[in-house]
Every structure is written in C-alpha cells, then in structure tokens.
Structure 1
Amino acid sequence: MKRRPQETDRGEDDLAGLASALLGLRSPDEVRAFLEDLCTPAELEAMTDRWRVVPLLYGNVPYREIHDRTQVSVTTIGRVARTLERGAGGYAIAYQRQVDEGDKNTSEAGKTGSASPSNSD
C-alpha cells in the first residue's frame, strides 16, 4: 500500500493510535465490527487468509496441503511463514493466546463435566 508523503512522518503515531483503538475494543464482535468498518472486503479477505494459515504452519503442515485445505495461494502461505520467522512477533503472540485460551476452556470444561467441541484444525 502506498503512503502519502507528509511533511513529518506520523506513521508510528498513527499505527500506535490504531493499535490503541483495537485494544479498547472489548469483544470479538466489537473487533469484527471495527474491522468491517475499517477495511475493504478484499483487505478483510487477505487478512483472514493469512490468519487461517498460521495454525497450519505452526502444525508443520506442508504448503501444498495448506493450499489444498484453505485455497490460500502458496505465495501468501510463504509470506506468512517468513513473517512468522522474521516478523515482529504479532502472529506468535496472538496464536499462543488463542492456544492458551483453548487450553483454559478445555480444562474448565473438564472440571464441570461438560465437553467442549473439538476442532481438528
């Protein structure tokens, strides 16, 4: 995405403001509504595609199999894999929090005797 030239580069401040806005949201539904307002359908699809492949990459699923399962391009899969290796660590934090939350929900369900739905992916 091309950035507009500015007299002073406020990019870091702007990104911090966006991050702060996301942090202020209190539920997945609020985040979804914000993202739907903020992004175009194509941007949402691209972000969703990237996020869908993260657990599969952590599961060491081969790129071709990820493509076959998700229909996400092998190029995008490779880009996500490179970002997992050399990026800022955001994917790893979000993924680990989801895993931890899933573990927490599973153990809480076991304590109450209720079963939680399993997800094979």
Structure 2
Amino acid sequence: MQLNKLNKKEVDQLFQAILQLKTLEECYRFFEDLCTIGEIKSLAQRLEVARMLQEGCTYNRIETETGASTATISRVKRCLHYGTDGYKLALERLCQMKENDFPDNG
C-alpha cells in the first residue's frame, strides 16, 4: 500500500484537521485558506470524473462535461481499478448520505 509514503506527522495532522470539520461551511473556510481556487477545482473535478467513470460514462462525455483532460481521466480510472479504493469509499458514502437526505418520494 502506498499510504506509507505519506505517513508523516504533517500529513497525519492535515487529515486529522479535515476530520474535525463538521459542516460544508467549515470545509469551504478551511480549504479556501489551505488551497488555491484552482487546486480545489482540480480535486473536485477528479472526484466528479471518478463518479462518472463508475457510472460508465465515456471519456468523451466526461471530458466535455468536466473539462478534464484525457490524462486526468486515465489517472482517475487507474486509481479506481488499481488504487486503494479511496474514490469508491468516498463515493459510496456520498451516495448513502444523499439517500438519507432524500426520503422516498413514493
């Protein structure tokens, strides 16, 4: 597992700080201080690419809708297939959260 390459005190502190955030507003405030707008957009774009790949969207559609390069799409796809399942975990939890937020309309 490649996580051991990141296993430094500073990275642990960053991840612990993120885990302490409780609301979307807190996340916006923290990430706007931590990252440039471009960095935040890139992170969000990669997550959207992962979501679209999991849904079976084509590279062309993903490129058109997200503006991601084919290199970025390929990298995200590689992570989905051979990575540590971080995208899958996050997307599953987002899906569960949305299901809990929106009660059955039937």
**TM-score (normalizing by structure 1):** 0.75
Distance 2:12 2:83 in 1: 17
Percentage of matched positions with identical amino acids: 30
- Which structure carries more helix by proportion? 2
* Of 41, 45, 53, the match for 1:45: 41
Residue 11 of structure 1 and its aligned partner are, at CA, apart by: 5.2
The amino acid across from 2:42 in the alignment is A
Which protein has the larger Cα radius of gyration, Structure 1 or Structure 2? Answer: 1
Aligned to 1:56: 52
Distance 2:100 2:37 in 1: 33
- CA distance 1:100–1:10, shift in 2 (3 Å): closer
* Of 90, 96, 102, the match for 2:98: 102
1:91 paired with 2:99, answer no
Distance 1:15 1:84 in 2: 22
Aligned to 2:10: 14
- CA RMSD across the alignment: 2.0
Distance 1:65 1:71 in 2: 10
Q: How does 1:19-30 map to 2 (within 5 A)?
A: 19-30=15-26
Residue 10 of structure 1 and its aligned partner are, at CA, apart by: 8.6
Distance 1:64 1:74 in 2: 9
Q: Give unpaired runs (5+ residues) of structure 1.
A: 1-8, 114-121
Distance 1:10 1:105 in 2: 34
Query: C-alpha deviations, 1:89-115, integer Å up to 9, x for none?
Result: 221111001111112223x253xx7xx
**TM-score (normalizing by structure 2):** 0.84
1:77 paired with 2:50, answer no
Residue 43 of structure 1 and its aligned partner are, at CA, apart by: 1.3
Aligned to 1:35: 31
Q: Which has the higher contact order (CA 8 A, sep 6+)?
A: 2
